[in-house]
Amino acid sequence: MKRAYLAYILSAAFALLAVTGGCGTDAEGPVTRPFHESGWYSPQAGDTERYVDTFSSVSMIEVPYGIGESSTLKLGETQGVVYTTLLMQFNYDSLFNYEGLTVDSVILDLPVIIVQDTLFHLGVTFNELLEDFSEFDTITSPPACDPDPIPGQNGETVRDINAERTEFSIDKSIVQGWVDGTSTPWESGISINWAYQPDTLGLIEMYAQNYGTNPPVLRVIFEGGDDVLLPDISDYTITSDNITALAAAGGTARRIFFEFDLAGVPELATLNYSALVFHTDGARGLGATFGEQLVGATTDFYYYIYAPDSPDPEDPGILEGTGVSRNALPVNIDAKIKIPLGQYMIDIMSGERVNNGLVLQSDLETARIQILAMFDTAAGDSLRPYIEIIYTMPTDFGGQK
């Protein structure tokens, strides 16, 4: 019993010597030496703050883009967007096998998907194009065309497209000349144009050749019954708009340019979170038309946000830049939208990136019309777009120097 007690006393003594010898006389010892003369190490967490910048300026940039890669073609008007003209080119190769035969009739078949209002109708003319076009071009106005419309079998020049009438005769003598080799087909294609301003607004939608099946076709029927299809191989919807809201729109196209500064954020702040915040105006938004929904499109708005190469709206650099965020959001409802800005705002605050503002656009600019409408800086305080930043100030260690 005495031996065990003695061993315990010795081990405790050695342990005490190890502590006092290893740290007690060390000038940099972090445990037993006070951090300040007035007390021990005692850091105080820095304050966490919320900063809001309601933007020095929010404006729209108009971009000369048309819709050449869409799965649907449109004529009419909806949500302030006007679908003014359709362009079509056809493949005539099948006619080479029918030289010497007699054309009985020719029909232009437009594969209408839906008419927005079953009572809506639109008078149009068909005109031969005098200039080529490509689906990959940026076309904002119709190419030159023959001012004299292509006539129907009975000489009619104005055709009425509606929910029930989607097939239109073409003067068979035109195609007979192609078969006989006395004239050439419409090499550049045709345009379908409004003949007059309709009394009411509405939209007619049909399949484009990009959909993959059921494109517009010219049907050539020969005496004897042969029915030859000349399919549409390239098409384009030309649009304009009467949009008055602050909006990003595909197809027309418009982008929204946000300018801001961070003067209210202290230089030593550490960023925790940042976001672009705005309120959508659902009554003016458009995610997808009825026809697009029928072919599988969602009603979400696909957006792309980038940091432009230039802060000048007149500089082409405003149209290019580094991506910040890409996603989808609903636009047919009134909603508060927060889009996190992640590393972009960290780089701005650290000086790694120049603040040229942000640009928001439709990610489907050349594919279809989409409209994201938001309340602008003139709206009430709760509806204005803004940048939100959550930051923390450095730790305060307290004590005396």
Both tokens assigned to 309: 């190469």
Query: Looking at the 3D structure of the chain, how many domains does it have?
Result: 2
* Same domain as 236, residue 93: yes
Distance CA 35, CA 369 (A): 65
Q: Which of 181, 208, 241 is the last residue of a domain?
A: 241
**pLDDT at residue 400 above 50?**
no
Mean pLDDT of the chain: 86
Q: How many CB atoms lie within 10 A of CB 150?
A: 20
Omega cis (within 30) before 253:
yes
% the chain with pLDDT above 70: 87
* Same domain as 233, residue 113: yes
Domain membership flag for residue 157: yes
pTM: 0.79
Distance CA 369, CA 274 (A): 30
* Same domain as 217, residue 284: no
Residue among 120, 374, 105 nearest 257 (CA): 374
Distance CA 74, CA 367 (A): 12
Q: Residue 382 — pLDDT band, cuts 50, 70, 90? A: confident
Q: Which of 203, 224, 241 is the last residue of a domain?
A: 241
Q: Range of 171's domain? A: 72-241
Domain membership flag for residue 280: yes
Domain membership flag for residue 14: no
**pLDDT at residue 18 above 70?**
no
Give buried/exposed letters for 24-57 (b at 16+ CB in 10 A, else e). eeeeeeeeeeeeeeeeeeeeeeeeeeebebebee
Q: What is the pLDDT of residue 26?
A: 43
pLDDT in tens, 109-167: 999 999 988 789 999 999 999 999 998 888 888 999 999 999 999 999 999 999 888 99
Q: Which of 241, 274, 297 is the last residue of a domain?
A: 241
Q: How many CB atoms lie within 10 A of CB 155?
A: 7
% the chain with pLDDT above 90: 61
* Same domain as 254, residue 237: no
Q: Residue 31 — pLDDT band, cuts 50, 70, 90? A: very low
Q: Can you tell me the mean pLDDT for 12-20?
A: 40
Domain membership flag for residue 167: yes
Domain membership flag for residue 21: no
Domain membership flag for residue 308: yes
Domain membership flag for residue 82: yes
* Same domain as 271, residue 355: yes
